[in-house]
């Protein structure tokens, strides 16, 4: 399809007419819901007030006029699909001239807006859905038995901290915490020396479920509003000391960065693929996790880029550290949501689930620095610097997109964060 917003038709554009992701932006002292189209943001409140798209239901008009996506998320697919059809129609190149003129009044260049968190995130859960990530990390600590016995039966996750979720572009302060260096007899409290990124995809919950009522796997995707990028920053030295026996705590809660645009499952439909094939030796899925859909996964390329302070000062652009794909996960996004609700846990509109680090089977597909310890040589940056973990001033950029000959590119935008020095302790 073509849009009359010319920038949406350019090669390599993340936000063509087939995408139309949702986000929240600030402009001229007002916070509003927007839709990305090319290099523009469409103000949904302005459109609703101006009578475009065509007459919406009172509930949908009210949801589009909020300053977070929670109300829209709560309405479900019966509202999302008609809104998407109407937005596609008014932005299509064959829209009537009078409609185009009305809509143009509500377009704002992206460079003029400040993006915000897309929703009020009530709860955040992070999973461990990549078997390649779990195996590589497991080998660092258990070379002969990297995967624990439960991994192939149950999606593993932990409850994260929603209050420290930040939007792309927010600086991240190096955390201080308690660690146990090998060279000391007692633990110490000091700035972390092992700050890492984790390349993940986030899953925003739509309507959700009532307390005590599980979500069947066949209905799981009806509760998924859309996907975004997630960087689950980690302090590995703090994590290695604190995680036994209850798992991650302060090593993860200092910050989690998400991208501002939420890409809908409707936009990703052309890129649905079969889930990664399981080994013949793997156990059968328990019935509540057995997904009948033959296209259970999504073909989304995910990438990590790094630019050091030294590189910025010398005008050297960011270098790509890895490239993986969401389709390589051992557990699908539907399985993650169904498992989360299987005990009757109530998921609410705007809750965020994350996949955990996304890694592939090949070298250069690792989704974090910890995993790269298996490589034969350390990471060397263009200016000669090396990295085992992040240094102050390092800027990490995550990107994701779907791309295939004959199909439009569906992009997620960027998820960016820069490490600042720790505060004095």
Tens digits of residue pLDDT in 325-381: 999 999 999 999 999 999 999 999 999 999 999 999 998 999 999 999 877 678 999
Q: Which residue has the tokens 């989304």?
A: 300
The pLDDT value given to residue 150: 96
Q: Which residues, other chains included, contact 136 with Cβ-Cβ below 8 Å and sequence gap of 6+?
A: 146, 359, 366, 371, 374
Q: Which residue has the tokens 């192939």?
A: 152
The pLDDT value given to residue 375: 77
**Cis omega (within 30 of 0) on the bond before 53?**
yes
Give the predicted TM-score (pTM) of the model: 0.97
124-420 CATH choice from 3.90.850.10, 3.40.50.800, 3.10.129.10, 3.40.1260.10: 3.90.850.10
Which alpha helices (H) appear in 200-308, and where do they start and end? Answer: 236-242, 265-268
Judge whether 164 and 255 are in contact, CB under 8 Å.
yes
Q: Distance between CA atoms of 113 and 413, rounded to whole angstroms?
A: 15
Q: Distance between CA atoms of 15 and 78, rounded to whole angstroms?
A: 23
Which ranges of the chain have pLDDT less than 70?
Answer: 55, 376
Q: Which residues, other chains included, contact 47 with Cβ-Cβ below 8 Å and sequence gap of 6+?
A: 53, 64, 90, 103, 106
The pLDDT value given to residue 52: 86
The pLDDT value given to residue 54: 77
- Going by C-alpha positions, the residue among 201, 213, 222, 271 that lies closest to residue 74 is 222
CB atoms within 10 A of CB 114: 12
Three-state SS for 177? strand
| 133 belongs to the catalytic site | yes
- Which residue spans of the chain are classified as CATH 3.90.850.10? 124-420
The pLDDT value given to residue 337: 98
Three-state SS for 239? helix
Q: Which of 133, 223, 339, 340 is the catalytic position?
A: 133
Q: Which residue has the tokens 């308690």?
A: 178
The pLDDT value given to residue 288: 98
Judge whether 252 and 370 are in contact, CB under 8 Å.
no
Handedness of CA 104, 110, 116, 121 (dihedral sign): positive
- Which residue spans of the chain are classified as CATH 2.30.30.230? 6-116
Name beta bridge partners: 305: 320, 397
The pLDDT value given to residue 163: 98
Domain 6-116 has CATH 2.30.30.230: yes
């Amino acid at each position: 399809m073509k849009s009359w917003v010319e920038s949406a038709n350019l090669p390599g554009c993340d936000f063509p007419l087939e995408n139309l992701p949702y986000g929240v932006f600030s402009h001229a002292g007002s916070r509003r819901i927007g839709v990305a189209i090319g290099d523009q943001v469409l103000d949904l409140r302005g459109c609703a007030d101006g009578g475009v798209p065509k007459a919406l239901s009172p509930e949908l008009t009210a949801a589009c006029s909020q300053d977070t996506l929670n109300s829209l998320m709560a309405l479900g697919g019966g509202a999302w699909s008609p809104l998407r059809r109407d937005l596609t129609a008014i932005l299509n190149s064959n829209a009537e001239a009078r409609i185009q003129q009305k809509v143009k009044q509500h377009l704002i260049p992206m460079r003029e807006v400040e993006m915000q968190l897309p929703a009020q995130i009530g709860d955040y859960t992070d999973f461990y859905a990549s078997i390649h990530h779990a195996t590589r990390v497991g080998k660092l600590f258990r070379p002969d038995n990297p995967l624990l016995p439960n991994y192939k039966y149950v999606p593993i996750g932990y409850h994260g901290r929603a209050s420290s979720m930040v939007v792309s572009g927010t600086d991240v302060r190096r955390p201080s915490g308690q660690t146990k260096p090998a060279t000391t007899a007692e633990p110490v409290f000091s700035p972390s020396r092992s700050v890492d990124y984790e390349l993940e995809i986030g899953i925003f919950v739509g309507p959700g479920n009532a307390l005590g009522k599980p979500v069947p796997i066949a209905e799981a995707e009806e509760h998924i509003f859309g996907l975004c990028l997630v960087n689950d920053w980690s302090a590995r030295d703090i994590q290695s000391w604190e995680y036994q026996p209850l798992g991650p705590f302060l090593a993860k809660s200092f910050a989690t960065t998400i991208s501002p645009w939420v890409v809908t499952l409707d936009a990703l439909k052309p890129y649905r693929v079969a889930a990664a094939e399981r080994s013949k030796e793997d156990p059968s899925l328990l019935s509540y996790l057995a997904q009948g859909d033959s296209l259970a996964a999504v073909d989304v390329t995910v990438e990590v880029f790094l630019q050091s302070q030294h590189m910025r000062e010398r005008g050297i652009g960011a270098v790509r550290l890895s490239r993986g794909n969401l389709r390589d996960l051992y557990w699908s996004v539907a399985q993650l949501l169904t498992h989360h609700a299987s005990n009757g846990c109530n998921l609410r509109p705007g809750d965020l689930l994350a996949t955990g680090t996304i890694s592939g089977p090949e070298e250069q597909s690792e989704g974090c620095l910890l995993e790269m310890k298996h490589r034969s040589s350390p990471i060397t940056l263009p200016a000669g610097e090396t990295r085992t973990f992040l240094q102050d001033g390092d800027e990490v950029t995550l990107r994701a997109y779907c791309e295939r000959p004959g199909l439009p590119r569906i992009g997620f935008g960027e998820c960016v964060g820069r490490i600042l020095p720790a505060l004095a302790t």
